[in-house]
């Protein structure tokens, strides 16, 4: 499959954005999953619902909210720009943020399921032997939840590869800056005679997502085998 420079640009940008979105989401994803599994507090159901809102809201709504909050004149974005000269709107950084937000619920769900499968008696036994909460988390909880963390990272990556609505609403469709595979396909579909390029990008997107899921399954199996599961 021979890709043009335009197509390669979209592919490389998509992989970059999807990878960064997964990486920056991971610490918060682990924290939120741990809170939902291990903590009891008023409003827990509300927090759970808010985390999963991107799964049920139209992506355009998420993009609009990001624009209102993080745009150059947004609630937080204006402050960031005025004080630090930093802006994420209409840039690849904004595309990373939009992708991370849309993929976040999938990451949390995968990690949460892994945490729920851990026998809490192991954690309790470690605490009775004098281990601190942090030591228990980093030496027992985190290693045992590794299969779910791997699945969460890959699902987040795959979801970010296909992100369209929130991205185009928040950061527009800028060649070389925010035009990922879905946005490039959207442009090509509307361009006469570009059906072949659109089909190539479609095929490549399927292959990338399929490869990510297969790798996720392989790594999760190896992790469970290593942990004796």
What is the rounded CA–CA span in Å between residue 145 and residue 138? 10
Q: Smallest Cα–Cα separation from 32: which of 122, 107, 89?
A: 107
- The per-residue pLDDT for 105 is 95
Residue with tokens 């997964």: 22
What is the rounded CA–CA span in Å between residue 200 and residue 97? 27
Residue 27: its H or E element: helix 5-38
- The per-residue pLDDT for 95 is 94
Which residues of the chain are modeled with pLDDT < 50?
none
pTM tops 0.85 = yes
Domain ranges of the chain: 5-223
- The per-residue pLDDT for 1 is 61
User: Under CATH, which number does the domain 5-223 receive?
Assistant: 1.10.3720.10
User: If 0-12 CB within 10 Å is exposed, 13-18 middle and 19+ buried, where does residue 30 land?
Assistant: buried
- The per-residue pLDDT for 222 is 78
């Amino acid at each position: 499959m021979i890709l043009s420079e335009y197509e390669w640009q979209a592919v490389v940008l998509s992989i970059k954005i999807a990878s960064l979105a997964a990486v920056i989401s991971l610490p918060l994803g682990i924290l939120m999953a741990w809170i939902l599994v291990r903590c009891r507090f008023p409003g827990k159901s509300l927090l759970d619902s808010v985390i999963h809102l991107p799964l049920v809201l139209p992506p355009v709504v998420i993009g609009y909210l990001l624009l209102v909050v993080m745009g150059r004149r947004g609630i937080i974005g204006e402050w960031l720009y005025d004080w630090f000269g930093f802006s994420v709107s209409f840039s690849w950084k904004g595309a990373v943020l939009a992708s991370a937000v849309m993929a976040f619920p999938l990451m949390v769900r995968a990690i949460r399921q892994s945490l729920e499968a851990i026998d809490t008696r192991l954690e309790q036994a470690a605490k009775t032997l004098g281990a601190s909460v942090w030591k228990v988390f980093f030496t027992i909880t985190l290693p045992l939840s590794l299969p779910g963390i791997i699945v969460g990272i890959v699902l987040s990556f795959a979801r970010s590869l296909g992100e369209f609505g929130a991205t185009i609403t928040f950061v527009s469709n800028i060649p070389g800056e925010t035009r990922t595979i879905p946005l490039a396909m959207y442009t090509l579909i509307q361009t006469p005679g570009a059906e072949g390029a659109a089909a190539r990008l479609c095929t490549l997107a399927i292959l990338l997502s399929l490869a990510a899921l297969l790798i996720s399954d392989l790594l999760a199996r190896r992790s469970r085998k290593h942990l004796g599961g």
